Structure 1
């Protein structure tokens, strides 16, 4: 068995991951609820992950499954978040794991979130820290980690958990795309004074880490944190983005953080401000030490490529 399967293959991370596997001359199994036509991959459309027998039939020659399918930060109605996240991030993961057990897949790699550790860090997070998730998304990921551990305990299918911080790169969605759009469309960017160190990970670096997690021996029942080689501040991020956009006329200015905090409170954007202003650092050294993985893309190159892709 030599194939790697990827659920959520139609998503931002999934497509890059499939691309990295194809570039290495492999034939990945691209699994998605949406029909895919990725040349060179074995494309599998799964309308319902609860149909585990159907999914297992597609995994008979698979060595490892990297589970990306789930719900991230899509809009929902108040009060629905918890139920939606649990159905997408816990139930779907368990269905996929059961299919792996039935098919004899050697390893299940679960892509979790640094949010399981918490929203901010007084010192760099370690994978041995006590989990402290606060938002529904992160809580669902932590519950999924626990449920998978119970399901796969004693099973021939190994479990490896990867917790990445915010993922960026060309075509990225979510909050990072909002920063790129801000740098591309604004005349003034008032975020220059945001100097709290934060860890991010470029999508290519994450894809390579996931392939390493799927293949490296001795990672059963292990949880790892991954991140780019160095941390960066939001102020530095917007400066690099603005400087990389040919059409940008943005000027990054240093509005005092206290004033930004007050403005965010008045505008009802306190949660977003806290994500930008609070330190959140990740110590990924153990994963590098155990597996030999090192991030290929530097922060500077990753940000420049992200900005240039936005202009296309």
Structure 2
């Protein structure tokens, strides 16, 4: 039985990974910072003070075969750190490398690192991102993730630890943080949204699909040393996504057709240009490498993912 340590186990992605692991032959340990996950015959918990450069992971790593590293300092909407890059590096770079070094020393075979599509860049134009593109991280968060990727690859060459890197785009599902959950609630309340004329193309990934790929990467021999992109395999505009979210809820979305350039201008004036880029810009990913090398297909479609999201979302 493969013994797996999952970090960030109480987070949005971590919980999805734990649920998917419960289906198979895995003995799982959940690393948590607070109570919230109950132990079971196939799930142990290990409490840590945080993902820091001096965290002692020795007890949690003892006897483990694989680490799935979901924990991270993620995007902060109201950033108050004097230097955001320093704050992101402390957790996402130094904390990750500390964990990985201890994992290698403890005899862990494989380290699955959940990175970010932001390592590739913030927007696509003529071509989707691929795993072989030259990285162009566009934010302090993405920079910290890319630096962690490089450090993990160097550690793999030094120690033989098998490192697998996964860069997801926006992950959605019940309980999704950030803008996706807000959009769901606005649609449920019937709020008119000025997003009825957006012609962009964006890749998303349902939590179920991401968790399935993560579990595939735990055991698949071809995953070692590779970087993978992941999505539902269907790209949609923001307008189409909102319409299909409304269909999943059982009532139509109320969308006002405001031109995208007007929205971008207004958002820039209000200091919300990044939000406008996420709603109006394109970000597509190419998952052919993931499909071909691993023989992996997204288990559920976009519409099925939205339906699951609505069923499990407290609106």
Q: Tell me if both proteins adopt one fold, taking TM over 0.5 as the criterion.
A: yes
Q: Map 1:47-126; keep pairs closer than 5 Å.
A: 47-49=49-51, 54-74=56-76, 75-77=78-80, 79-122=82-125, 123-126=127-130
Q: Which runs of 5 or more structure 1 residues have no equivalent in the other structure?
A: none
Question: Are the equivalent residues in 1 in contact too, given 2:243–2:252 (CA < 8 A)?
Answer: no
User: TM-score of the superposition, structure 1-length normalised?
Assistant: 0.93
| 2:117 is aligned with 1:128 | no
Question: Are the equivalent residues in 2 in contact too, given 1:67–1:108 (CA < 8 A)?
Answer: yes
Moved more, 74-83 or 85-94: 74-83
Question: Are the equivalent residues in 1 in contact too, given 2:169–2:205 (CA < 8 A)?
Answer: yes
Which residue of 2 is the match for residue 295 of structure 1?
298
Which residue of 2 is the match for residue 228 of structure 1?
232
Partner Cα distance (2:80, 2:95) in 1:
21
Question: Are the equivalent residues in 2 in contact too, given 1:192–1:254 (CA < 8 A)?
Answer: yes
**How far is the alpha carbon of 1:24 from its aligned partner?**
2.4
**How far is the alpha carbon of 1:178 from its aligned partner?**
2.1
Partner Cα distance (1:189, 1:239) in 2:
11
Moved more, 31-40 or 216-225: 31-40
Moved more, 285-294 or 173-182: 173-182
Partner Cα distance (2:55, 2:205) in 1:
35
Q: Which runs of 5 or more structure 2 residues have no equivalent in the other structure?
A: none
Question: Are the equivalent residues in 2 in contact too, given 1:3–1:64 (CA < 8 A)?
Answer: yes
Secondary structure of the equivalent of 1:218? helix
| 2:198 is aligned with 1:194 | yes
Secondary structure of the equivalent of 2:290? helix
Cα distance change on mapping 1:132 and 1:53 into 2, 3 Å? closer
Moved more, 263-272 or 113-122: 263-272
Question: Are the equivalent residues in 2 in contact too, given 1:237–1:303 (CA < 8 A)?
Answer: no
Task: Name the count of aligned residue pairs.
Answer: 311
Which residue of 2 is the match for residue 307 of structure 1?
310
Q: Map 1:97-176; keep pairs closer than 5 Å.
A: 97-122=100-125, 123-176=127-180
Cα distance change on mapping 1:173 and 1:252 into 2, 3 Å? same
Partner Cα distance (2:138, 2:52) in 1:
28
Partner Cα distance (2:65, 2:291) in 1:
22
**How far is the alpha carbon of 1:44 from its aligned partner?**
0.8
Question: Are the equivalent residues in 2 in contact too, given 1:33–1:48 (CA < 8 A)?
Answer: yes
| 2:8 is aligned with 1:8 | yes
| 2:273 is aligned with 1:270 | yes
Partner Cα distance (1:304, 1:99) in 2:
41
| 2:10 is aligned with 1:20 | no
Cα distance change on mapping 1:68 and 1:278 into 2, 3 Å? same
Cα distance change on mapping 1:49 and 1:136 into 2, 3 Å? closer
User: TM-score of the superposition, structure 2-length normalised?
Assistant: 0.92
CA RMSD of aligned residues (A): 2.0
Partner Cα distance (2:102, 2:73) in 1:
20
